[in-house]
Structure formats: structure tokens, C-alpha cells
Structure 1
Amino acid sequence: MALLDLDPAVVATARRLAAEAAAPVIGIARSHTTVSVERATLRLAGITGADSTHRASDVPWVNRVVDTVAAHCGLEHGVCLPVFDALRRHDLTSLTELAEATAAGQVTYALPTGRDATRAAKAARTAIAKGLRTVDRNRAQRDKLVERHGDPARRPWIYLIVATGDIDEDVVQAANAARAGADIIAVIRSTGQSLLDYVPEGATHHGFAGTYATQENFRIMRAAMDDVSKEVGRYIRLTNYASGLCMPEIAVLAGLQRLDMMLNDSMYGILFRDINPIRTFVDQRFSRQVHARAGIIINTGEDNYLTTDDAVDAAHTVTVSQLLNEHFAHEAGLPDHLLGLGHAFEINPKLPDSFRLELAHALLARELFPDAPLKWMPPTKHMTGDVFNGYLLDGFFNLAGVLTGQSILLVGMMTEAVATPFLSDRDLALANVRYVLDAAGGLAEDFRPAPDGLIVKRAHQVLGEAVDLLERVKADGLLNAIAEGTFGLMKRPADQGKGADGVIAKADDYTNPAVDLLEEGATR
């Protein structure tokens, strides 16, 4: 039931402006590729493993191949034709063999023409289609397991983080969290992995403030969560991060290993990791096409804006970003039920009526995106060493989530400001969530904000400010708006940032069967 009486014409205007602001950027994303898109394509085609000649600095085979193709004949035509032509010319049986020969300096890449190009394109499409069939089987398997084990009996789903740095220890903590009531396990990535222009190989045990996102780590955790799903009688979802310089590759690995959710925001890497804007928009379009194919729910990162900007003054920038993320996602083929738009409980608790304002912002997101599995983030910015006050604040956050019908509730930690030192913190945090859900889970049935009260007026104000900002973004251009610090106060010019040298304008005859197959399977 709509509680805010939002004007449908204003909502339609906001969506139209978001689409118009996003259109030039989508055009750029369609006309460019990146080294990470090309590597992701070869991963779908089956390349795995790394060059372990120098054990201290293993280089993934896919990096060896793409870098060599770029050096020999460029990437503007795509990596597929040179690679699959070389595979045939050298009479090799696998891409891994080709990578080994490439590292040994035994392969010269060139762009084939005529019949050779036709053969290479056909071979590439066959290999990539096989990879996508694995993604499709995993999606079907998820559906079967959800039917077999069941989903949580109530919403919101409880989302809890593990982040030890050691995948084996993560498994222990994740299993215990699921037994204690968590529905979604998020494995935080090791600090700085988003800035690595390669994906590490194998199981890892040495991450700092998180665990490396690798295909083997994904496989290990997915298998463990499947086991605990049987034990607890509900399907436990697994989350990781498709962001940073390897966003498309990690999206592919998630699809190949049946992850269920991935953090994947259109602007987070630009604003908070200083990754080149063009690189990010190209990569995120491809990654979202993969997520759409895999049935993976994406989580966007609007909550981060409120850690660098004021949660009241900048509330409309969250709404603008949500609308942009929605349009980028739809254009890439993601339907609403896979669109986990983000927002957060970050208003200064000392501000009068702070809880009422939080309700207004959360209700606005809920009513603007009624079919999206919204991800509601707990307080972090105003948490202190006072763990008792923090525990109370997390309780208010949980109550706001219940009252406003949030879909995914990230569990807040009362020790947020002191680095979560104790394992018992998670148990206490889950107890807080369980109490609120049990005591007030149906309270939304009775919650009706006054039509002329602060909550409704504030929601209308934020939506109006969002429309005004979208008008300016459309007029100035989204890339210029980002460069000027419109979102999260971060100024990121389009011609700067990490990874800019990995962006390539497509030639007229650019060939990538992965793009074609994903477009054919899109739900637009």
C-alpha cells in the first residue's frame, strides 16, 4: 500500500530524466571495450589457471593472452578472432595450452580475415556458449535448491558479513552465522583488491581485512553454504563483489560458481576507488548483462554517499543514483526482482526527529521501487566506542527496516567503531534483529504516517530535489556531474583515474560473441 501519495507525474519525470542523463554514457559503454571485458570473455570461453613460473607473482593466463594480443594487433577488434585463429593455426587443443605457448613466446597474434575470420568467430561463439550454458545450469540449480530447501519465512532477509582473510575460517564463521539466523552471507574482499587489474587464482589464506575474491574461493564457500542450507532448512545466499578493475571477470566467475548476489554499483568504483569513469561504465554494463543471465541480484552502493556527505542534505543524491542505477540495470537486461538498490540509516542521531527522517527516506525508496529487493544498510558514520548506544541505534535501524518493508537488512554491529573485535558481536547483533522481527515484524500493517506530517512532507521534498538535480545532470552531462563532485563529494574527471589505459574504442568490425549472446538473451 502506498503511504506517501507520490505524484505519478513527478515519478515519471524523474525516471525520464534519469534515462536521458544516462543515454550518452550508455552510448559510450556500447562503443567501447576494456581489457577486463576481453578477459571476462575468454574466461567464459574456458581459460583458467595462472603462470606460476615465478611463484611470488603468479600472472593469470587470461592476462598473459589479452596483454599479448593487445601488443601484437590491438584490442579494438576484440580478443576472440586473434585468439581462436591462433588456436587453430598452432593446432592447440585448449586456451590454456595457447596461454602457455604465449608465455613462452611461441605465438604471434594477428587479426584474421576472410574464411579464417569466419572460422575463428564460429569457434569462439561455440566456446563462449558452452560457458554460458554452465551459467544457465547454475541458475536452474539455484531455483531447484530454493524449492527444495525453501526461502526464509519472513522478510527482510538477514545479511551478515564475514571477513577473516582466510577462506577456510570464513567458511566456519559463515556456517555458524547461518545457523544463528543469517539468510545471506557476504564475503568481504581483501582491502585493495578492487585496484588489482587481475583476479588471483586458487584458494587464499592471507587477505587483509577481507578475503580475496577468486574462483576457487567462490567454489569453496558455495559448497559450504549448500551443506548448511540442508542443515538449516532454507537456501543460504552467497554474496561477493563485482566491482573494481576486474568487475566483468568477477561477474563471470560468480555466474560460473552460482553466487546469488554481487555488489555492483554503476558509480562506486569511480567515486570511492578513483577508477576511470569510462572504464567503470563499460565494465558495469557487461557485468550486469552477465548478472542478468545468471539470475544474480545486484546490490548498489548509494549508502556510501552518506558516509562522505550529510545524510539529510544529500538525501536526494541517493535517490538520483538509485534512479540512474535502475536505468543502467534495465538497459543491461536486469529486471526489477534482481535490482537490489542501496540506501542507508546514516542521519546523525543527535538531530531532532532523526528517526522520522530515516523513515521518510526509507519509505521513499520503497515506494519508488516497489518490486526491487532493496538493501538497507546500518549506521556506521555516527557509531562510536559506546557499544551500548550503538546497540540501541542498530535496534532503531532494524525497526525502520521492518516499518518500511525493506528486503535485505545488513546486520549492524555495535562495535562498528572499534573494528568488531569479538565473534560474539555477531551473535548479539543477530539477537537484536531477531527480537525486532519477532516483536514488530507485522507492525507495518498498522503504520500510517500522517498525510500532512513530517514523514510524508520530507519524502516529497527529497523527490522534488532529486528531480531538480536530474535536470541539472541531464543539462550538464552525467560525466561532468561526476567530475564536479555531485555524488559523495568526490570529483572524478572522465579522462583521469585508474585503469584508463585499459579502455579501447571498438572498431566497426569489433567481434565478441559473448556480447552478442548476452544481448540475445537480454530481457529488455
Structure 2
Amino acid sequence: MSPTTVAPPPRLELDPKVVRKARALAGRLGRPVVDIARSHTTVSVERATLRLAGLAGADHERVPWVNHLVDAVRDQVGLEHGVTTPVWDALRREEAPDLLTLAQKASTGSVSFRTPERKGELTAARRAARGAVRPGIRRIDQQRRARDRLVGRLGDPPHRPWVYLIVATGDIYEDIPQAQAAARAGADVIAVIRSTGQSLLDYVPEGATREGFAGTYATQENFRLMRAALDEVSRELGRYVRLTNYASGLCMPEIAALAGMERLDMMLNDSMYGILFRDINPVRTFVDQRFSRQVHARAGIIINTGEDNYLTTADAVEAAHTVTVSQLMNEYFGKEAGLEDWQLGLGHAFEINPEVDESFRLELAHALLARQLFPDAPLKWMPPTKHMTGDVFMGYLLDGFFNLAGAMTGQSILLVGMMTEAVVTPWLSDRDLALQNVRYVQRAAGGLTEDFHPPRDGFVQTRARQVLAEAVDLLDRITSEKAPKGSAPLLEAIGDGTFGLMKRPKDGGKGLDGVARRADDYDNPAITLLEEGTR
């Protein structure tokens, strides 16, 4: 399942005590945040649960029925006990004949919700809710098994790293032929970028969409259409082509659930991206993230994290250690939610200013550090963007060096760099040239990881040790200085602008009004089934 390297990566001589300390500090920093996630719920977690129970569709203004139903329950009885108990209690009291009709009636204020007080009624409502959600979890399980069968029959790409290419026109019916063409040209993973701003929508659009700005809306129908198209081209090519989208933003849990049900293979799902770069409330993000990663774990989806984004706002040399800290935190949060090593597509990027002396050697040190700290994780290696100036010849050269660094350090997933990146929307011919660049480096230097052994105390080894030491110092400082005992120091560090130079206080940002503290008798059958691990 995992895009592991062809040969063992070259070794850095890191002090194992320092590595263990880094992980121990990450766990110490992450545990209070997990406690917060386990003691709160959000409107999107509750809506995702209803989607797993089969509620779909939207009203004439395209507001999803899950939004109507969750809002009605929240207005009448709150979300502290979970949405499913009041909903299935209402169904048992025959407020409506089925879930969809109940949501439709709730949108007009025609349903009375309550939290049943009698034990027998409470138990019956919860039993019914669990029975309704279980088919959604089973569908995720079935899709995972379907992927395993297809990979077993068609095979994985014969090379590493997997070639990851972006397609997103705004129109799903234009995306499909472009995605199939990209696969025929050599792409192993197709990423459909979301329309700009979708992460700030507190609802998931419905149906197939034909308009979007700089991307295509993430919807269940768009997922279904693209997966079917890639299955078709997979059979044609004789290798399984993977599909990626984004489980981030205000609807992270819902998109994760839809991705699991429609057999997406990778999802962008970073622990702090939405907080830092979309100003989404930190508590909302961490609660939503834990649920979404539980779904990804169950679905066999590889997550891609977004550490590369830090280097678009902070200097890639000075802030290199913050990337390592974020990778360690993403590893901790991911494993706590049930993800395995092969599902942790931790991110890093080739973003050092090419005018810096020894920039390529620095890039090798940073990439090799990530590869050795997370040897079983399918690292996602991101191309230069920040320093692409419009000089397409220099840009093409930078992308070649990026591809070479990936070959030398054993990266797992390589996002194809475009020489027109950050200048114009790339033409299809730009994509073809970029893929030629990747293919040349893979043919000429694909096994270079076998031969690249940095000297013991040379430049690469010394720089990697320095970055790791700085990461440990930062973790140590956050855990001891950022917050009083009993609080969550990571949230304080995020508020202080420690990551990506963005200050995001825990009581600010978008979506905080969608967070609720769980009551002692909170019940969510989706979380229960996911944590039980039933198949």
C-alpha cells in the first residue's frame, strides 16, 4: 500500500537520544490538544455523522439538509449530547417517516427535538442511531477492500517516488479528460484542487459542479465522477491511479467521510494549515481534525500534510526546524487517531532561495532529515514556488534540481513542479515539459539514493543535526514556557506566531461558534464505531 522507497535511504548519524526526546516532547505537547478534541464536538462532526447515516441533498437554495437538521437540533437542545440522540428520538416519535423528511421539516421549524430523559427511550434512540450510521462505516470498509483488490489486480507504479500532478479547471467535466491525460502521460496521483475559498464555506456543495475559481468544488458527486474516470484509465494503463482532494477547512470531517465513501486514496489533512493560513479557530480545527483522521485511518487513506506552506511565509533556512516540529506533531496526532506509518504523507518542500550559498546542499540536508526521522512514512516532497520569478528557464532548472534532490534522498510522493508556477496558470504543454523533467531524472538518477552517503561530519550531516537540535529546543521551550500547567501550550504557541509567522489566538478565528463542549452523556455512534474498529 505504501509508496516506500526502492532502496534504503542514505543514513544520517543522528543521536537516537535526541530523536527520542523530540518524539517525547511532541507527545507531551499534543496530549492536551487531544484532550480538548475528545471533550468537544462541532457542527461539522455532527453533520458528518448524519452523512454516514445516509442524509444527502440540499434545498432549492443549495443549503444541505445536514446543515438544516444540525442547526435545528442545536437551536432547540444544543449539541452537547450529540445530534443523533435527538434526531432518532424524533424519528421514533414519528415526527417524520425518515431522516430526509425530518431534515426537510426541521428546515421550516416543524419538528420538536428533545433529549429523552427516560432510560428506555434514550437507549432505544441511541440503538437506532447506531444502526443507521453503521452502513456508512461499512461502505467505507467496502471501498477500502475494493482499493486493495484493484491494486492487487492492476498493480502499483513500478517506480518511486510516485508522481503527483494537479488538475483543476473549475469544471469537473473538464477535469476528467485532463486527469486521464495526465495519467497517460505518467502521473500516478491526481490531485483535484478545491475552488478558492471552499475551506471557509461551512457547508459542502451538492452535486457535480461546473464553475470554480482556481479549482473545482469538493463534492460527493465530483468525487464519484473522478474516481470512476480514474478507475477506467487505471484499467487501460494496467496500474492503479490514485485520487487526492482536500479534507481541510470548516467541513473537514464531512469531506473526510465523503472521501471514504467514494474511495479517494489521499487527502490533504494538516494539523495547523487551516488555522495558520485560513484563520480557522484552533479548537474547531483540532476537534474536526481528529474525527477526520479517524475516518482516514478506517478508509486506508494516506494523508498529506502541509508543512511546505510554512516556507511560503517564513524563511526556509531560518524556519526549517518549525517544519520538523510540525511533522512530529502531525505524526503524533495522526497516530493517536489511528493512522499507521504508511498513511502519514508528511510534507516538506524545496523552498530555499536559490541565491543562498550552498542552497542545494541545505535542501539535501533538510530532505534527508525528514526521510530518516520518518523512515516508514510516504513523505510528500513539494516543488519550488516562492522563488519562481517568471524566468521559465531558471524555473525549469530549479525543478530539475528539486527532482534530483528527491531521487538522492528517497522521497516517496513527488509533486510535479511547473516552470510557470506562481506566474500563470500552467498550460497543458507546461505540464508535459514538467513530466519530461521528472522522467529524465528518474531514468538517469532514480537509484542515486544507493550511492549518496554524506560524510560523517560534513555539511549535510552537520546541518541536519542542527535543524533537529533547533526543533527539540523549540518543542522544549513551548512545553515549558508557553502556557501554565493544565493548559495547552501548543495553542499558545500558535497564538504567538511560532509557526509560519501567523498569530492565531485560540479564542479567535472562523468557526468557533460551531464548537460545543461534550456533556458527560455525549453520544456519537460514528466515533464509537470508528474507535471500536469494527469491520
TM-score, normalisation: structure 1: 0.98
Match of 1:122 in 2: 127
Deviates more, 1:143-152 or 1:411-420: 411-420
Deviates more, 1:191-200 or 1:416-425: 416-425
Question: 1:473 offset after TM fit, Å?
Answer: 1.5
Match of 1:27 in 2: 35
Question: 1:93 offset after TM fit, Å?
Answer: 4.0
Question: 1:90 offset after TM fit, Å?
Answer: 1.7
* Residue 158, structure 1, aligned to residue 163, structure 2: yes
Deviates more, 1:109-118 or 1:298-307: 109-118
Q: Distance in 2 between matches of 1:499 and 1:91?
A: 30
Corresponding letter in the other structure for 2:77:
C
Among candidates 152, 156, 162, match of residue 147 of structure 1:
152
Question: 1:92 offset after TM fit, Å?
Answer: 3.7
Question: 1:88 offset after TM fit, Å?
Answer: 1.6
Question: 1:89 offset after TM fit, Å?
Answer: 1.1
Q: Secondary structure at the match of 2:102?
A: helix
Match of 2:94 in 1: 90
Q: Distance in 1 between matches of 2:141 and 2:187?
A: 27
Structure 1: runs of 5+ lacking an equivalent: none
Question: 1:106 offset after TM fit, Å?
Answer: 2.1
* CA deviation vs aligned residue, 1:420-465 (integer Å, no higher than 9, x gap): 3411111110010000001111111111111111000000000000
* Residue 422, structure 1, aligned to residue 422, structure 2: no
Q: Distance in 1 between matches of 2:125 and 2:54?
A: 15
Match of 1:244 in 2: 249
Q: Distance in 1 between matches of 2:246 and 2:367?
A: 24
Question: 1:396 offset after TM fit, Å?
Answer: 0.3
**CA 107–152 in structure 1, closer or farther in 2 if over 3 Å, else same:** same
Question: 1:419 offset after TM fit, Å?
Answer: 1.9
Deviates more, 1:194-203 or 1:104-113: 104-113
* Residue 15, structure 1, aligned to residue 20, structure 2: no
The 8 Å contact of residues 275 and 498 in structure 1, kept in 2 or not, is answered as yes
Q: Secondary structure at the match of 2:70?
A: helix
Match of 1:488 in 2: 500
Deviates more, 1:110-119 or 1:428-437: 110-119
Task: Please list, as runs of the form range in 1=range in 2, the aligned pairs for 1:58-73 lying within 5 A after superposition.
Answer: 58-73=62-77
Q: Distance in 1 between matches of 2:365 and 2:375?
A: 15
The 8 Å contact of residues 167 and 178 in structure 2, kept in 1 or not, is answered as yes
Task: Please list, as runs of the form range in 1=range in 2, the aligned pairs for 1:154-233 lying within 5 A after superposition.
Answer: 154-233=159-238
Question: 1:51 offset after TM fit, Å?
Answer: 1.1
Match of 1:518 in 2: 530
**CA 501–339 in structure 1, closer or farther in 2 if over 3 Å, else same:** same
The 8 Å contact of residues 95 and 102 in structure 2, kept in 1 or not, is answered as no
Match of 2:5 in 1: none
**CA 345–522 in structure 1, closer or farther in 2 if over 3 Å, else same:** farther
The 8 Å contact of residues 320 and 366 in structure 2, kept in 1 or not, is answered as yes
Among candidates 47, 51, 62, match of residue 59 of structure 2:
51
* Residue 396, structure 1, aligned to residue 401, structure 2: yes
Deviates more, 1:97-106 or 1:334-343: 97-106
Q: Distance in 1 between matches of 2:16 and 2:369?
A: 13
Q: Distance in 1 between matches of 2:98 and 2:308?
A: 44
Q: Distance in 2 between matches of 1:433 and 1:461?
A: 31
* CA deviation vs aligned residue, 1:328-374 (integer Å, no higher than 9, x gap): 00100001000000000000011111000000000000000000000
Match of 2:486 in 1: none
Corresponding letter in the other structure for 1:310:
D
Among candidates 110, 113, 117, match of residue 109 of structure 1:
113
Q: Distance in 2 between matches of 1:73 and 1:255?
A: 30
Q: Distance in 2 between matches of 1:457 and 1:85?
A: 63
The 8 Å contact of residues 292 and 522 in structure 1, kept in 2 or not, is answered as no
The 8 Å contact of residues 95 and 111 in structure 2, kept in 1 or not, is answered as no
Deviates more, 1:469-478 or 1:248-257: 469-478
* Residue 346, structure 1, aligned to residue 351, structure 2: yes
Match of 2:103 in 1: 99
* Residue 311, structure 1, aligned to residue 319, structure 2: no
The 8 Å contact of residues 167 and 204 in structure 1, kept in 2 or not, is answered as yes
Q: Distance in 2 between matches of 1:429 and 1:326?
A: 31
Q: Secondary structure at the match of 2:267?
A: strand
Q: Distance in 2 between matches of 1:65 and 1:327?
A: 34
* Residue 368, structure 1, aligned to residue 380, structure 2: no
The 8 Å contact of residues 373 and 407 in structure 1, kept in 2 or not, is answered as yes
The 8 Å contact of residues 333 and 522 in structure 1, kept in 2 or not, is answered as no
The 8 Å contact of residues 347 and 380 in structure 2, kept in 1 or not, is answered as yes
Q: Distance in 1 between matches of 2:18 and 2:81?
A: 43
Question: 1:103 offset after TM fit, Å?
Answer: 2.0
Deviates more, 1:477-486 or 1:444-453: 444-453
Q: Percent identity?
A: 73
* CA deviation vs aligned residue, 1:208-233 (integer Å, no higher than 9, x gap): 00000000000000000000000111
Question: 1:105 offset after TM fit, Å?
Answer: 2.7
Among candidates 466, 475, 494, match of residue 470 of structure 1:
475
Q: Distance in 2 between matches of 1:474 and 1:429?
A: 43
The 8 Å contact of residues 418 and 426 in structure 2, kept in 1 or not, is answered as no
TM-score, normalisation: structure 2: 0.96
Q: How many residue pairs get matched?
A: 519
Corresponding letter in the other structure for 1:281:
F
* Residue 81, structure 1, aligned to residue 85, structure 2: yes
Corresponding letter in the other structure for 1:21:
L
**CA 71–91 in structure 1, closer or farther in 2 if over 3 Å, else same:** closer
Corresponding letter in the other structure for 2:62:
D
Corresponding letter in the other structure for 2:269:
N
Match of 1:254 in 2: 259
Q: Secondary structure at the match of 2:355?
A: coil
